[in-house]
Every structure is written in C-alpha cells, then in structure tokens.
C-alpha cells in the first residue's frame, strides 16, 4: 500500500490540523490522482485477494457458525425447550444415556441464561426510559409546565388558547413549521371530535406530536443486511462515540461488524475509535494519521467483502458544510462505496448535537444538500433544554431521527421511539 503513503502529510506537533480548516490541505492535491491510482490498485489487489478471499471466507464461515445466526437459533431452541422442558426433564431422569444428561444440562444453562437476559433487557429498557426522563428534564420544564399552565388557565378552546400553545411549543425549540403542523392537526381533531373541554385537548396534542415523529418500521433494515453505514456531521457532535456504541450493540445482536477509521486528521481520533472497537469487540480498519480518508474507506470495503462482514460503519472527520474540499471528500467517499460495493445496503447518518437546538436543524439541512442522508442520530439529549429539536427535525426536513444519545456509555444510544420520547417529554406517567 505504498501508494497511499504518497498522500500522507508529514506533520509536526504544530501543524496538526485542529478541525476542518486545517484538514483541507490533505485533500487539496491529488483527488483525481488518488481516484485513478485506486483504480489501478483495484486490479492488483483483486488478483492478490482472489486467493485470500477463498481462504478467509472459509474461516469466516466457520466463525459465522459461532457468531452469526446461531444466537437466534439458540433462542428458538431455548424457547422450545421451555415449553417441553418438564416432560424432557422427566425423560432424562429415566434415561441412562449420559449424552442426554449433558445435553439437558446445557439446555438448562441456556434457559437460565435466556431468562436472565430477558430480565436484563427489561431492566435496561426501564433504565433507558428513566435516563430519557431525566435527560429531558429541562425540555420538559420548557414544554410541559408551560402547557400545563395554559391548560389550567383556559376554560375554552379559542384562538388565544392556540396562540399561547404555539408560543410554548416554539420556545421549546420545536420550530415554527412543526408547531404549525401540530396545531393544525389539533384544530382538525378538535373540530372532528367536537371537543369543547380544554382538558380533553391535552391527550390530542400529545398524540399529534407522536404522530409527527413516528419512525417507519423499516428504518433499521440495515441491521439485517449487508450494509455500509456512513456517519457524518460537524465537529464534536458525537460521531465516533455513536459508532462505538452502535458497533457494540450490533455485535451483541450477533452481527459481524467492521469499523473504518476514515477520520484521519488526528491520531487521537483513530485511537479513540480503536478504543471503542476494542471495548465493543469488533474489528477496525485504520491507517496512519494524515492518510487519505477515501483510501481507508477503500480498504475497509475490500475487507468487508472478503470477511463477509454484515455491517461496515464508517467514521468520518467533523466538517462544516461550507468547507468545499471537505464536502468534496465526502462525495468521493460516497462514490467509492457506490463503485466498490454497489450491492451493499446504504445508510448515511448525520449526527446532530441535541444541545445546539435550531443550529442542529440548520446542519441537517445543509448536509442533505451534499449527501443522501437516510437518518439522524441525535446525541446529548441528556441534560439539554432543547430536546424539542427532535420534533422540529422530523417534520421540517423529513429525515427520521433513528437513534438518540442519552449519555456516554455503550447502552446510551437507543433506537428512537416516538411514544417513549413524547411520554418522557410530557412525563405522562404512562
């Protein structure tokens, strides 16, 4: 891979770029050269790989027997055992075959494990909801207390009532457009259902917000396909952390995960990702600091195909939409994925920092002009007063929020659930 060395930048302590500004230099020269060179490389690599692919695939197939579908099979077997467990147990007592005894022992262990896992999962879910409720405390104070005071001070549903509601929703960062949608729907329902009582209106309002935010059921298709997930966004929003968390969760689900360290600007960025992948127990493809990001992606794509990877997660450097060269780099990465792995299922997640409110909305709009964004990861919802932004994002740019971050540990990235979110926001106690 000496070729890629050509594009490495020799750095001193002082010229390590801090962010998008400094990093532009890395891609200024040689975009086309790299592309051409990569094409040349493909041919050579393919020849070399043909021999290794076969070997690796064999290995991978073996390991898939352990890590791939087998968890689901164990679960099914365990569930079957649970229903017929007692009968089988009686049989085992009579049987003299020690193999059967051992088999039952294993199955009993599996059952215990499954029960423990269920309990753990339910506890985790409750834990998550509690975290969400806590994380949304400030937002809730913004929205719910304002709404409560409107509902307690108005006795009839009139124009002034709607105006006050509008003000509270806009103040909580829900945004003008989302607020208008929510209130239009509310007005319509109030009319249709001939509602006169203000108190009956509150649940309608909550439902109307939930409707705005519902995520399509096929939103997580990528988890079960051979997929490439590109993760983009501005500096410090939580891209690397979210990839770390997601890789751990996918691995726990039995998926074969590979992570590409395509943020090559700082050694620290690569180290940070390596640390997460170590914790998650997944593989990483990385090159030295200063390497061409597209080359890392290229390598990762080859590795993903050769290793029969299920999900390839690509971490990228933080970039501002107005940094032309960085946006070009992003387009190039996209092209390489399209060309090298056209059959892969594609996801492009933009990570947005929930604490930045309307700014996050602007970022999503700007990035969607250069990338085909398929989902949003909204981070740092723990401890922000601006959680209403999730609602604004959903309705204003029509890109679903697929994950939310409510803390820094591996379980703190959760699939977005509109009902949970709005319940936590209004703390309806349901």
Ligand X SMILES: Nc1nc2c(ncn2[C@@H]2O[C@H](COP(=O)(O)OP(=O)(O)OP(=O)(O)O)[C@@H](O)[C@H]2O)c(=O)[nH]1
- Rounded least distance, CB 257 to Mg ion, Å: 17
- Rounded least distance, CB 378 to ligand X, Å: 9
Tell me if 141 sits within 8 A of 168, measured CB to CB.
no
Among residues 315 and 423, whose Cβ is nearest to ligand X?
Answer: 315
Residue 237 interacts, among ligand X, Mg ion, none and using kind-specific CB cut-offs from 5 to 8 Å, with ligand X
The b/e string for 6-20 (b: 16+ C-beta within 10 A; e otherwise) is: ebbbeeeeeebbebb
Site for ligand X in 278-337 (CB under 6 A): 318
Site for ligand X in 212-241 (CB under 6 A): 233, 235-241
Long-range contacts of 154-163 (CB under 8 A, 24+ apart): 154/198, 155/198, 156/196, 156/198, 157/190, 157/195, 157/196, 157/198, 157/201, 161/198, 162/186, 162/187
- Rounded least distance, CB 246 to ligand X, Å: 11
Residue 357 interacts, among Mg ion, ligand X, none and using kind-specific CB cut-offs from 5 to 8 Å, with none
Using the Cα atoms of residue 42, residue 46, residue 49 and residue 55 in order, give the sign of their dihedral. Answer: positive
Site for ligand X in 358-417 (CB under 6 A): 379-380, 382, 405-408, 412
- Rounded least distance, CB 371 to ligand X, Å: 15
Residue count, binding to Mg ion (CB under 5 A): 2
Residue 3 Cα distances to 301, 329, 337, angstroms: 17, 18, 19
Tell me if 273 sits within 8 A of 259, measured CB to CB.
yes
- Rounded least distance, CB 288 to ligand X, Å: 17
Cβ contacts of 335 within 8 Å, gap of 6 or more: none
Q: Does 23 bind Mg ion (CB under 5 A)?
A: no
- Rounded least distance, CB 407 to ligand X, Å: 5
Q: Which of 78, 269, 393, 425 binds ligand X (CB under 6 A)?
A: 269
**How many other β-carbons are positioned within 10 Å of the β-carbon of residue 225?**
15
3-state helix, strand, coil in the chain (%, to 5): 65, 10, 25
Among residues 17 and 236, whose Cβ is nearest to ligand X?
Answer: 236
Among residues 68 and 383, whose Cβ is nearest to ligand X?
Answer: 383
- Rounded least distance, CB 128 to ligand X, Å: 12
Q: What span, in angstroms and rounded, lies between the C-alpha atoms of 356 and 339?
A: 36
Tell me if 95 sits within 8 A of 105, measured CB to CB.
no
The b/e string for 230-246 (b: 16+ C-beta within 10 A; e otherwise) is: bbbbbeebbbbbbbbbb
Q: What span, in angstroms and rounded, lies between the C-alpha atoms of 63 and 256?
A: 10
- Rounded least distance, CB 261 to ligand X, Å: 11
Using the Cα atoms of residue 73, residue 75, residue 78 and residue 80 in order, give the sign of their dihedral. Answer: negative
- Rounded least distance, CB 362 to ligand X, Å: 17
Site for Mg ion in 145-204 (CB under 5 A): none
Cβ contacts of 145 within 8 Å, gap of 6 or more: none
Cβ contacts of 392 within 8 Å, gap of 6 or more: 173, 174, 175, 177, 178, 358, 361
- Rounded least distance, CB 325 to ligand X, Å: 16
Residue 30 interacts, among ligand X, Mg ion, none and using kind-specific CB cut-offs from 5 to 8 Å, with none
Site for ligand X in 327-356 (CB under 6 A): 351
Strands 283-285 and 311-316: unpaired
Among residues 340 and 382, whose Cβ is nearest to ligand X?
Answer: 382
Site for ligand X in 247-266 (CB under 6 A): 263
Among residues 240 and 247, whose Cβ is nearest to Mg ion?
Answer: 240
- Rounded least distance, CB 330 to Mg ion, Å: 14
Site for ligand X in 106-165 (CB under 6 A): none
Residue 85 interacts, among ligand X, Mg ion, none and using kind-specific CB cut-offs from 5 to 8 Å, with none
Tell me if 232 sits within 8 A of 239, measured CB to CB.
yes
Residue 379 interacts, among Mg ion, ligand X, none and using kind-specific CB cut-offs from 5 to 8 Å, with ligand X
Residue 175 interacts, among Mg ion, ligand X, none and using kind-specific CB cut-offs from 5 to 8 Å, with none
Query: Which residue number has the CB closest to Mg ion?
Result: 240
Tell me if 247 sits within 8 A of 259, measured CB to CB.
yes
Query: Mask of contacts with Mg ion, 237-256, x by CB under 5 A?
Result: --xx----------------
Token pair 């090559």 is found at: 264
Please report, as ranges, the residues that interact with Mg ion according to CB under 5 A: 239-240
Please report, as ranges, the residues that interact with ligand X according to CB under 6 A: 233, 235-241, 263, 269, 318, 351, 379-380, 382, 405-408, 412
């Amino acid at each position: 891979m000496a070729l890629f060395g050509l594009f490495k930048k020799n750095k001193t302590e002082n010229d390590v770029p801090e962010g998008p500004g400094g990093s532009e230099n890395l891609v200024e020269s040689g975009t086309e050269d790299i592309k051409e060179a990569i094409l040349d490389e493909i041919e050579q690599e393919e020849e070399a790989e043909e021999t290794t692919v076969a070997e690796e695939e064999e290995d991978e197939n073996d390991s898939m027997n352990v890590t791939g579908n087998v968890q689901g099979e164990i679960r099914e077997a365990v569930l079957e055992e649970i229903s017929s467990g007692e009968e089988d147990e009686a049989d085992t007592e009579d049987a003299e075959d020690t193999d059967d005894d051992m088999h039952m022992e294993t199955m009993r262990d599996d059952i215990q494990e499954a029960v423990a896992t269920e309990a753990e999962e339910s506890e985790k879910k409750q834990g998550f909801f509690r975290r969400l409720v806590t994380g949304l405390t400030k937002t809730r104070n913004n929205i719910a207390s304002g709404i409560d005071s409107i509902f307690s001070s108005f006795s009839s549903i009139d124009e002034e009532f709607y105006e006050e509601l509008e003000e509270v929703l806009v103040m909580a960062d829900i945004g003008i457009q989302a607020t208008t949608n929510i209130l239009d729907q509310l007005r319509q329902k109030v009319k249709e259902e001939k509602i006169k009582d203000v108190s009956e209106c509150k649940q309608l309002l909550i439902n109307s917000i939930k409707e705005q935010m519902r995520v399509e059921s096929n939103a997580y298709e990528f988890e079960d396909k051979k997929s490439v997930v590109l993760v983009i966004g501005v500096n410090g929003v939580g891209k690397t952390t979210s990839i770390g968390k997601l890789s751990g969760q996918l691995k726990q689900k039995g998926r074969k995960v590979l992570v590409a360290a395509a943020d090559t600007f700082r050694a620290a960025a690569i180290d940070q990702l390596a640390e997460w992948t170590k914790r998650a127990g997944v593989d990483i493809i990385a090159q030295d600091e200063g390497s061409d990001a597209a080359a890392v992606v290229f390598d990762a794509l080859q590795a993903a195909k050769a290793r029969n990877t299920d999900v390839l997660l690509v971490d990228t450097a933080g970039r501002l939409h107005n940094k032309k060269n960085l946006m070009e780099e992003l387009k190039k990465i996209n092209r390489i994925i399209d060309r090298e792995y056209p059959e892969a299922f594609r996801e492009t997640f933009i990570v947005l920092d929930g604490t930045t409110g309307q700014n996050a909305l602007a970022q999503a709009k700007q990035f969607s002009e250069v990338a085909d964004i398929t989902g949003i990861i909204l981070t740092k919802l723990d401890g922000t007063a601006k959680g209403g932004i999730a609602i604004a994002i959903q309705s204003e740019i029509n890109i679903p929020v697929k994950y939310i971050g409510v803390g820094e540990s591996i379980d703190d990235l959760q699939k977005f659930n509109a009902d949970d979110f709005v319940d936590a926001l209004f703390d309806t106690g349901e």
